[in-house]
Amino acid sequence: MSFSLVPTFISEWYVSTYGKFHKPDVFYTPPNINPPPVAWIYQCKYCKYYQPISEDPNRGLCALVSEAGPPTPGEIAATSWCILWTSRPDNPPFSWLLQIIPK
């Protein structure tokens, strides 16, 4: 099960019909400026649509968002965020708490 502010079927339908969203249209944020963690850490690298670029862990591509914005058109920063952010099915709510608890 995934969480998203915008229902995923709407986002996926839009992209299949009109093409990817432009970064300003989905309030794409600069790197490291995202909502504070609540149930999830809200960063692109934790979104189900994020696809990392293997050479650089801080850069990737998005299945829904592209073009018109930093760092390079078509690229997504791993630590950015947008309103289409959708949790990955393998990332349950509050799992980020386990990452910060000392072992």
pLDDT value at position 71? 52
Question: Domain map of the chain by residue range?
Answer: 8-88
**pLDDT tens-place values along the chain, 103 residues long:** 677 878 888 889 999 999 889 888 899 998 888 888 888 999 999 999 998 887 787 888 999 998 655 555 568 899 999 999 999 988 889 988 887 777 6
CATH class of 8-88: few secondary structures
Q: Which two tokens stand for residue 11?
A: 């986002």
Using alpha carbons, select from 86, 88, 84, 91 the residue that is nearest to residue 29: 84
d(CA 37, CA 73): 27
**Do residues 2 and 89 make contact, with C-beta atoms less than 8 angstroms apart?**
yes
pLDDT value at position 73? 56
pLDDT value at position 66? 83
pLDDT value at position 69? 53
d(CA 74, CA 76): 7
